[in-house]
Amino acid sequence: MIISLWFKIIIVNNLIKDFLDLAKMDNGNLKNVYESIDLSKQVEKSVLTLESLMFEKNIKLEYDIDKNVYFNCNSDEIKQLIAILLDNAIKHSSKDGNIIANLKKNNDKIVIQIINKGEGIPKGEEEKIFERFYRVDEARNRDSNHYGLGLSIAKSIVNNHNGEIKVSSKDSLTTFKVIFK
């Protein structure tokens, strides 16, 4: 009983934090402290942090991260962005699926790709998944404490860094691609 109540309190606290983050981003009230970070190390650290969760779900992990990719950004927001995209990939990967995380520097662009094999996104729904509270399958998500805010927050973070986020889904492969200039 106490554990169940504690778990519900954590969920509500996280939901409130997500709402506050989105409100701050919408109103431009975030204090953006930008610093140059080694994005290569941050992406690798995030991937490795979630590796055990992927292992538990029997999801194969592959990653290809260019070394010494530096980016002037709000490091907390970028950590959150990567965590949201990886968490999303884990949630929507099929059993015995796989996730690929890539970070590439191409001329003046930094490209992050998170690819997972599993549930695809229905045609025509690709842009909708970035809307607040939008969930492709309401019934499946109702009992899993998903509120449809993560990808909306991810898009706001990318926008705050003058980047672009795209999603494509074909043949059970879903690819999130973030481009920073």
| Average of per-residue pLDDT across 78-101 | 91
Given a cut of 50, is residue 37 above it in pLDDT? yes
| Average of per-residue pLDDT across 3-17 | 54
The span from the CA of 145 to the CA of 176, in Å, is 22
| Average of per-residue pLDDT across 133-153 | 59
pLDDT averaged over the chain?
81
**Can you give the three-state secondary structure of 127-171, one letter per residue?**
CHHHCCCCCCCHHHHHCCCCCCCHHHHHHHHHHHCCCEEEEEEEC
pLDDT in the model for residue 164: 97
Closest CA to 57 of 113, 117, 3: 117
The span from the CA of 8 to the CA of 125, in Å, is 30
Q: Which two tokens stand for residue 142?
A: 């109702």
Given a cut of 90, is residue 145 above it in pLDDT? no
The span from the CA of 68 to the CA of 105, in Å, is 9
Given a cut of 70, is residue 136 above it in pLDDT? no
From residue 96, alpha-carbon distances to 56, 60, 92, 118 in Å are 10, 7, 12, 9
pLDDT digits (tens, 9 = 90+) for 49-61: 888 888 888 999 9
